[in-house]
């Protein structure tokens, strides 16, 4: 089982996407084309530096690209800790593919102890943010979970949605 603080961070990953905003639409995330895996090569260190700068400025797409860079390990040795760091940051902003990768890392125990509950929650949030693949993955994870684990995951998701609805209601009544 994971530590309490990591679980609380996970709740933040799940709730924050619902409140992320791009053009006042909480489900749309902006795309940053300046950072891509295709541009990052051994010969193109400035492209990696550009991605790092954009990621540190909070661009979710750049954070996702860095997560992929470290996760795939094609140009450098695979580093799950770095991949998770960047996937988590993009996930907080509702980046569906980063959430998919993060959910799969939790499920497989890549860089963290395997945790089906966390995997299920993050994969469901990825599905809500637009990933059909995550919806299928969450269903597969659910089939392998114990009933009490699935209940916990669904309770957490229900609380996330209650919080989201309360936030929407508060925004609607704020002048």
pLDDT tens digits, residue range 72-93? 988 788 999 999 999 999 999 9
Fold of 4-172: 1.25.40
Residue 115 has pLDDT above 50, yes or no: yes
pLDDT tens digits, residue range 122-148? 999 999 999 999 999 999 999 999 999
So where are the chain's domains?
A: 4-172
What's the whole-model pTM score? 0.76
pLDDT tens digits, residue range 8-61? 444 454 444 444 444 444 455 544 347 877 677 656 677 788 888 899 999 999
87-92 contact pairs (CB < 8 A, 24+): 87/63, 88/9, 88/13, 89/55, 89/58, 89/60, 89/63, 90/60, 90/61, 90/63, 90/64, 91/13, 91/17, 91/122, 91/125, 92/12, 92/13, 92/16, 92/17, 92/20
């Amino acid at each position: 089982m994971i530590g309490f603080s990591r679980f609380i961070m996970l709740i933040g990953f799940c709730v924050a996407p619902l409140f992320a905003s791009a053009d006042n639409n909480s489900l749309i995330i902006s795309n940053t084309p300046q950072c891509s895996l295709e541009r990052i090569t051994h010969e193109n260190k400035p492209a990696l530096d550009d991605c790092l700068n954009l990621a540190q400025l909070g661009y979710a797409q750049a954070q996702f690209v860095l997560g992929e860079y470290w996760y795939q390990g094609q140009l450098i040795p695979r580093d799950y800790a770095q991949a998770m760091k960047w996937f988590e940051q993009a996930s907080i902003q509702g980046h569906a593919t980063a959430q998919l990768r993060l959910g799969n890392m939790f499920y497989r125990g890549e860089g963290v102890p395997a945790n089906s509950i966390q995997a299920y929650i993050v994969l469901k949030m990825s599905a809500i943010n637009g990933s059909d693949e995550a919806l299928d993955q969450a269903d597969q994870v659910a089939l392998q979970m114990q009933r009490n684990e699935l209940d916990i995951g669904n309770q957490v998701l229900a609380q996330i949605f209650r919080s989201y609805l309360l936030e929407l209601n508060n925004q609607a009544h704020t002048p």
